Amino acid sequence: MYVLVNLIHRCRKPLWYHVPLHLRERHVAIDDVVIVPLRKQTIVGVVVDIRVALSAQDRCHATKDVIAIQTMPPDRFYAVFIKKIAAYYQCESIYFLMRLRQFLNKKRSVECASELTHVGSEADATVHLTQEQQAIVEQLKISVDRNIFECSVLHGVTGSGKTEIYKALMHHTLSLKKSVLFLVPEVGLALSFQKKLAQCFSAEVLYGFHSSKTIAEKKQVWHVLVAQRPVIIIGVHLPILLPINNVGLIIIDEEHASHYQEQRHPKINTKDVALIRAHAYNVPILLGSATPSVASLHNVETKNWKLYTLSERFGGHFPKIKLVSLTDKKKRASFWISNELYMAIDDRLAKKEQTILFLNRRGHSFFIQCTSCSFIVRCHACSVSLTVHEHGTLSCHYCGYTMREPTLCIECKSEALVKKGVGTQQLENIIRALFPSARVARADLDTTAKRRTWEATMQAFTAGDLDIMIGTQTITKGHNFPRVTLVGIIWADIDFHVPFFNATEHAVQQLLQVAGRAGRSTPYSDVIVQSMTQHDVLESLDERLYRSAWYVQELEKRRLTNFPPYKRLVELELKHTNEETVHQDALELVLALENYVAVHGLDVDILGPAKPPVYKIKNIFSRKIYLRSISFQVIIVLYKSVKDHKRPSSLFFTPNPQQ
């Protein structure tokens, strides 16, 4: 018996392989994943054809044996689903199967899983849903029962008890012998949710599937899926690609998070893929957030999506918000700490209450500059300045390159070097100097290698063993710290000027999420928002005004500028090691696109080519072009007309790009 195998190697034609006798006990089928030899490697492929015998010509090429056949969990919709996402991302189906199989790759080293105590389902009986929660659960249960594709947005203010709704729906779905896919935007959140859910679901039904899990744990999930047991799977990106025959509900928490888009090409957006999956499988999907995305809220208005609201916190009250300018000339102990913030921190320390200080920049300061010749120390491989870190090192946040901090200017040898901007490390030093008796910790996640320290800090803070926690965006989402009564936002407008259509949306969501950490279970709390410039967005930095004030204004801006959700947007990125080459390729690509649009009378705007703010990473230069139209299908037609043109640069396609 022979199988024709589509190999993961790009530009390779499918090859015939012989299936040895010992593998034939298992029925081989089209779309099965197989491991085959190719030169000196063993690689993954997908079966695209099966023959009992081959023509003499084909047989002389089929000299090698299949090494192993992967048992795929049964899933009747899987092939259709994978084809749909391959069409959406304009890439080969095999790419997704390769991603899926990566976890069986022995080379990847992963940390040990954290200890979990499963209490089981009895403990859950103590929670009584509020009337508001119960009403929402009852509505959503109907969609789960009926097995219908339905998108629902759960807009629940911070601390309103969205998790209790998820839990009730999980219980219900499992009771129908169906599985739940529960996705969160970061591994840290996946870990903390798994801990929370372990209090009410047994180890037989609750599984994590993400980069912090060991290969053995992931294989266990695979076996459970092969056995078709109803389960809850928590993860970030990978679970959405798992074959699950009995999936009955998909929940996307923090649905506004841009982290659902992967960093590397093809930039898969797990939320978008989940929507495609829910549609293909005819199951309901629930998108929860305290700050729902503009796109989702707009779909409620235009596409019949359901909207459920939790407008009150379960315990605690909303914080009082105070705006403070950093540019006033008042005398203060440190430029970065206004007198208002200083006094508020002092007050919390006296009352033994906790404070969070948020600054969305890692490192000590932004960069080093020479005041004599204006030279800035930059990365040799990326188009960014090096960030100053503690202990006299400079590092590149894009490629990881580090060097010793210079004592003289590299250009003019002057000693007049100054550090500009502020990062969390410097903020920590400032706070320690201003409040020497306070117990202070910094929780910004540089790399996954530091995840253990990060988790320990989060735990110590939750337990009340710290007074002040300083952090970047990793502390903003989802975490519940009951004793926090003060949140200080050090530099609120730092990310307002990023040149991307939804930059303000992300900045506002982030600020509201961090502000939402205050007053989770106390009658009073404060958020002090420091900023360099006046910005009308800061005036409506109250989550209760999110839909009525901020969203309405933002939507109007999008309408006037023709950006999503009014039009569909696709990003084309060209990459090459030579800047002149990528530049030429981008110009030619735009010409070809414009030509096709003119000849065929398509309604598509072509924006660019643009040199991105960071146009070189690891010595690879890039240029971007945006395609904008009412119709995604028209954009695909246009893209297909240029996709396979010969050009030195690589071309990447990203639908619905996030910043």
Element (H, E) at 341: helix 339-351
The partner in contact with residue 297, picked from ligand ADP, Zn ion, none with C-beta cut-offs of 5 to 8 angstroms by kind, is: none
Least separation in angstroms between CB 313 and ligand ADP: 7
Count CA atoms closer than 13 A to 371's CA, side-chain side: 6
Element (H, E) at 143: helix 131-146
Q: Decide: is 207 part of the binding site for ligand ADP (CB under 6 A).
A: no
Least separation in angstroms between CB 254 and ligand ADP: 9
Which is closer to ligand ADP, CB of 251 or CB of 368? 251
Which is closer to Zn ion, CB of 83 or CB of 618? 618
Residue 127 CB coordination number (10 Å): 14
Which is closer to Zn ion, CB of 366 or CB of 398? 398
Rg over alpha carbons for the chain, rounded to the nearest Å, is: 27
The partner in contact with residue 654, picked from Zn ion, ligand ADP, none with C-beta cut-offs of 5 to 8 angstroms by kind, is: none
CA angle 642, 644, 648 (to 5 degrees): 100
Q: Decide: is 568 part of the binding site for ligand ADP (CB under 6 A).
A: no
CB distance 447 to 473 below 8 Å: no
Q: Which residue is nearest to ligand ADP (CB)?
A: 161
Binding mask 40-79 for ligand ADP (x = CB under 6 A): ----------------------------------------
Strands 367-370 and 417-420: antiparallel
Tell which positions 91-150 bind ligand ADP, by CB under 6 A.
127-130, 133
The partner in contact with residue 379, picked from Zn ion, ligand ADP, none with C-beta cut-offs of 5 to 8 angstroms by kind, is: Zn ion
Binding mask 480-509 for ligand ADP (x = CB under 6 A): x-----------------------------
DSSP annotation of 228: T
# chain residues binding ligand ADP, by CB under 6 A? 16
Q: Among residues 20, 37, 315, 613, which is the contact residue for ligand ADP, using CB under 6 A?
A: 315
CB distance 37 to 83 below 8 Å: no
Tell which positions 377-436 bind Zn ion, by CB under 5 A.
379, 381-382, 396, 398-399, 401, 409, 411-412, 414
Q: Decide: is 161 part of the binding site for ligand ADP (CB under 6 A).
A: yes
Give the 3-state DSSP-derived string for 543-560, with helices as H, strands as E and coil as C.
HHHHHHHHHHHHHHHHHH
Which stretches within 435-562 are classed as H helix?
451-463, 503-515, 536-539, 552-561
Tell which positions 290-329 bind Zn ion, by CB under 5 A.
none
Least separation in angstroms between CB 147 and ligand ADP: 27
Backbone angles phi, psi at 163, to 5 degrees: -60, -40
Instruction: Give dist(CA 549, CA 565) in Å, integer.
Output: 18
Q: Give the residues across from 46 on adjacent strands.
A: 6, 33
Which is closer to Zn ion, CB of 131 or CB of 407? 407
Q: Among residues 34, 82, 144, 162, which is the contact residue for ligand ADP, using CB under 6 A?
A: 162
Least separation in angstroms between CB 512 and Zn ion: 32
Cα of first residue to Cα of last residue in the chain, in angstroms, is 49
Which is closer to Zn ion, CB of 413 or CB of 640? 413
Determine the residue type at 299: N
564-567's contacts with Cβ under 8 Å and 24+ in sequence apart are: 564/294, 564/295, 564/501, 564/502, 564/656, 565/294, 565/295, 565/298, 565/299, 565/302, 567/605, 567/628, 567/629, 567/630
Least separation in angstroms between CB 349 and ligand ADP: 25
**Which residues here bind ligand ADP, judged by CB under 6 A?**
127-130, 133, 156, 158-164, 314-315, 480
**Which residues here bind Zn ion, judged by CB under 5 A?**
370, 372-373, 375, 379, 381-382, 396, 398-399, 401, 409, 411-412, 414
